[in-house]
Structure 1
Amino acid sequence: MTTDASRAAACTPAALQHLIRTGDGPRLLDVRTSGEFRTSHIPGAHNVPLDTLREHRMELRQHLDEDVVLVCRSGARAAQAEAALAEAGLPGLRVLDGGMLAWEASGAPVDRGPARWELERQVRLVAGSIVLVTGVVGFFVPGVHLIGTAIGAGLTFAALSNTCALGMMLAKLPYNRGPRTDVRTVIASLRDRPVL
């Protein structure tokens, strides 16, 4: 079975650092939420959250070539972005192997902003809190524990499908959104570097 993550070509942090140092650096599209991007990102990266990328992929496609590396926290959302852009007629994009976690672990340069909780940590807090509360309340109110069972089933599905409905809902909160990404501004900055 081929998954989105296995379909996209990977670019290691070391290879990307080498390309950037030699001046042959590809365009970097960071598909995390604006809030995540503001917390830390690779210098020179353009922030196009995954939902925005999916919505405007045809417009973006006109200003991109195959010299693009997609970035997210761990690689999963970047692989989804690669699939969306491939559907729009731009195959062959690369995904940063291991995402920002691997980039930072390699000691590569990072532009930092105000610290905030990562989306994955927020998912663990919300899911764990729901399971804990419904487990305790379940001692007094029969059947309430089934809510925790549903959360567990949802997390299992999230792991198997490499998607997370709870994460997508949390990403829409103002805390995670940050300033709205203006696609016209991103496209204008992509135009500054013409497609080869």
Structure 2
Amino acid sequence: MRNLKQLAILGIITLSIFGCSPSPAPASCNTVGTDFQNLNTATLASNPLFDDYTTMDLVTHEYTFEVGTNKTICSIGYQGNANLFAANIPYTIEIFNNTTSTMVYTGSHVFDSAMIDYQSIAPTNLIAGESYTIRRIASNYLSNIGNTIGRICRFNNGSVPFPVNSGALTIYSSNFYGTGGPVPNFGIPHIDIVFQ
């Protein structure tokens, strides 16, 4: 009986050592040097009249894009309005697949106003070659339309450089609307999408 107990204990130890392999680490969600950041930097550098500016007092800021290879979004980066942040009022972030006419992500997020704030989202798969639109919607702007402004890469001379791309990301157009507008292709809203 004693040998049977020792054998059972030895079996359990052996299984715990060799029978279990560690779970793979989740894919990283690196917010440094994203395709969007590189695209934004290159676009600003392409024309001295383009600038990084906080403007456009409209409810919805959006851009339409594609990815060159299948990608998974793990985080969204945005710099919120100071008044909305102080009041803990969220923005709605939507990612809509224009090719299939389906919403692939929607969520409410409060973004810090002092810096680009990255919020993790449920892994959202994008298919190469399909058209998507990402929207930042400020539905509750505390009855002050000035609270809807946001950071954009602004095209100041009427020249629209679309399409612009970096890495897997290509942006084809942008739009601003809600309580006014639309104002198409005025600039690129600074809504950073982070791929795994």
Per the normalisation by structure 1, the TM-score is 0.27
When Rg is computed on C-alpha atoms for both structures, the one with the higher figure is: 2
The higher-RCO structure (CA 8 Å, 6+ apart) is 2
Q: Which has the higher strand share?
A: 2
Question: Going by fraction, where is helix more abundant, 1 or 2?
Answer: 1
Question: TM-score, normalised to structure 2's length?
Answer: 0.27
